[in-house]
């Protein structure tokens, strides 16, 4: 098996999906040893031995750009515990690896949260027409996997189509439950409104449809994020300016956070991500859209690589109806502050006390 992997690693950057066995690029030693950090954790006692073998493997293969997940990357600390120098080293290591892999100059930003900033998002569900441009803008910006095979296509935003609901005189005698001869309930259990139940795979010729409403859902950047509470390695956490981020290098792929998230926001890289060179966005942030590895979890981070530099998130910019609004909650002049001040807003599943910074509103 181990030998089977190597040629694929060589072609991985071109057509990773055609690789019969996917190489685990998360792991510096994977191409040679087929041993991942997840394995290390499982067999704690093996750690030192495996590391030594991994090191040896890297030293013999040091000329191969694709095996070039340097051992420094493998042994780096949790991002939050790194000193500024260590962060810089990590940044340079990654820039080198990505630039090699994607054949262009890739920048990995490490800009920190700025004081006085608390990011917030608002979405006008009255306006949304369900066109899914936000979904695909997000993919263009955030370097998600986009292969043709199952599990290779990752999208962070989901747009849910729900029925407006229709109540008819003709149905008045159809009660609940049926077939008992006695009508014990009415027929108004017809689905209607924002019930969080509907279609994700709708595909009509044109949207909006008259009998539907649309509700986009992605990470809510909770103030009390359950995903953060459950992460056993504390690789996902809330940044000072609001977004909940992931240090992909430290993620062990246990998927606890995916279970904990009540908003279906997190995605898992089941396969080695398929990201064509020409489509790769070279402006990245360490905690944001830098290319991920197989076996790690990812999710929306409000385009940290943009928003840390004051730019709107990609989904906000493409929404044709202007349903998406983004701003600084601490600034009374920002769009979101004005919306909170003037419109009726709600937080999705507020009863769970997750306190999202993503608000839905309507005119």
Q: Which residues, numbered 86-125, are part of the site for ligand SF4 (CB under 6 A)?
A: none
DSSP character string of 75-133: TPPPGGG--HHHHHHHHHHHHHHHHHHHTS--EEE-PPPPTT--EEEEEETTT-----H
Map the footprint of another protein across residues 46-85, applying CB under 8 A.
Answer: none
Map the footprint of ligand SF4 across residues 181-240, applying CB under 6 A.
Answer: 214, 216, 219-222, 225-227
Nearest to 187 by CA among 201, 199, 176, 203: 176
Instruction: Compute the least distance from the CB of residue 333 to another protein, in Å.
Output: 4
Distance CA 125, CA 159 (A): 11
Instruction: Compute the least distance from the CB of residue 214 to another protein, in Å.
Output: 10
- CB nearer to ligand SF4: give 9 or 219: 219
Map the footprint of another protein across residues 143-172, applying CB under 8 A.
Answer: 150-153, 155, 158, 164, 171
Phi/psi at 359 (5° precision):
-115, 140
* Joined tokens for residue 113: 């949260």
Distance CA 179, CA 182 (A): 8
Applying CB under 6 A, which of residues 9, 159, 251, 303 lies at the interface with ligand SF4?
159
Distance CA 354, CA 37 (A): 31
Query: Going residue by residue from 122 to 151, which x/- string records binding to ligand SF4, judged by CB under 6 A?
Result: ------xxxxxxx-----------------
Applying CB under 8 A, which of residues 68, 107, 113, 135 lies at the interface with another protein?
135
Applying CB under 8 A, which of residues 72, 175, 198, 262 lies at the interface with another protein?
198
Contact stretch for another protein (CB under 8 A) within 122-130, 236-244, 251-259, 350-358: 122-130
DSSP-based three-state secondary structure for 345: strand
Map the footprint of another protein across residues 331-350, applying CB under 8 A.
Answer: 331, 333-335, 338-339, 342-343
Instruction: Compute the least distance from the CB of residue 213 to ligand SF4, in Å.
Output: 10
Distance CA 326, CA 198 (A): 27
Instruction: Compute the least distance from the CB of residue 233 to ligand SF4, in Å.
Output: 15
- CB nearer to another protein: give 231 or 304: 304
Contact 74, 57 (CB under 8 A): no
The two most distant CA atoms of the chain are separated, in Å, by 80
Instruction: Compute the least distance from the CB of residue 307 to ligand SF4, in Å.
Output: 15
CA distances (Å), origin 62, targets 29, 37, 48, 67, 292: 11, 20, 21, 7, 22
Number of chain residues interacting with another protein (CB under 8 A) = 77
């Amino acid at each position: 098996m181990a030998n089977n992997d190597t040629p694929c690693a060589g072609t991985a950057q071109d057509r990773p999906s055609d690789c019969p066995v996917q190489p685990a690029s998360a792991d510096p030693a994977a191409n040679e040893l087929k041993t991942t950090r997840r394995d290390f954790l499982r067999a704690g006692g093996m750690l030192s031995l495996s590391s030594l073998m991994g090191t040896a493997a890297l030293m013999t293969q040091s000329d191969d750009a694709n095996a070039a997940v340097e051992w420094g990357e493998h042994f780096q600390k949790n991002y939050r515990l790194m000193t500024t120098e260590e962060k810089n080293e990590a940044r340079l290591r990654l820039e080198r690896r990505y630039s090699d892999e994607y054949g262009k100059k890739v920048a990995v930003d490490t800009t920190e949260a700025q004081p006085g900033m608390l990011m917030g998002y608002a979405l006008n569900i009255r306006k949304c027409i369900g066109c899914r441009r936000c979904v695909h803008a997000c993919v263009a910006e955030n370097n998600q996997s986009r292969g043709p095979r199952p599990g290779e296509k990752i999208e962070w935003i989901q747009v849910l189509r729900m029925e407006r609901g229709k109540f008819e005189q003709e149905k008045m005698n159809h009660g609940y439950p049926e077939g008992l001869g006695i009508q014990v309930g009415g027929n108004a259990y017809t689905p209607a409104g924002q019930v969080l139940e509907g279609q994700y795979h709708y595909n009509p010729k044109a949207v909006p449809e008259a009998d539907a409403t649309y509700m986009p859902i992605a990470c809510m950047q909770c103030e009390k994020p359950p995903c953060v509470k459950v992460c056993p390695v504390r690789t996902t956490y809330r940044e000072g300016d609001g977004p909940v981020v992931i240090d992909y290098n430290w993620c062990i792929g246990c998927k606890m956070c995916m279970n904990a998230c009540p908003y279906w926001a997190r995605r898992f890289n089941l396969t080695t991500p398929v990201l064509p060179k020409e489509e790769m966005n070279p402006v990245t942030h360490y905690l944001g859209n830098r290319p991920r590895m197989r076996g790690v979890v990812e999710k929306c981070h409000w385009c940290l690589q943009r928003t840390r530099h004051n730019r709107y998130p990609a989904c906000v910019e493409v929404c044709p109806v202007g349903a998406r609004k983004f701003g600084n909650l601490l600034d009374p002049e920002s769009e979101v502050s004005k919306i909170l001040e003037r419109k009726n807003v709600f937080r999705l599943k507020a009863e769970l006390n997750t306190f999202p910074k993503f608000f839905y509103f309507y005119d």
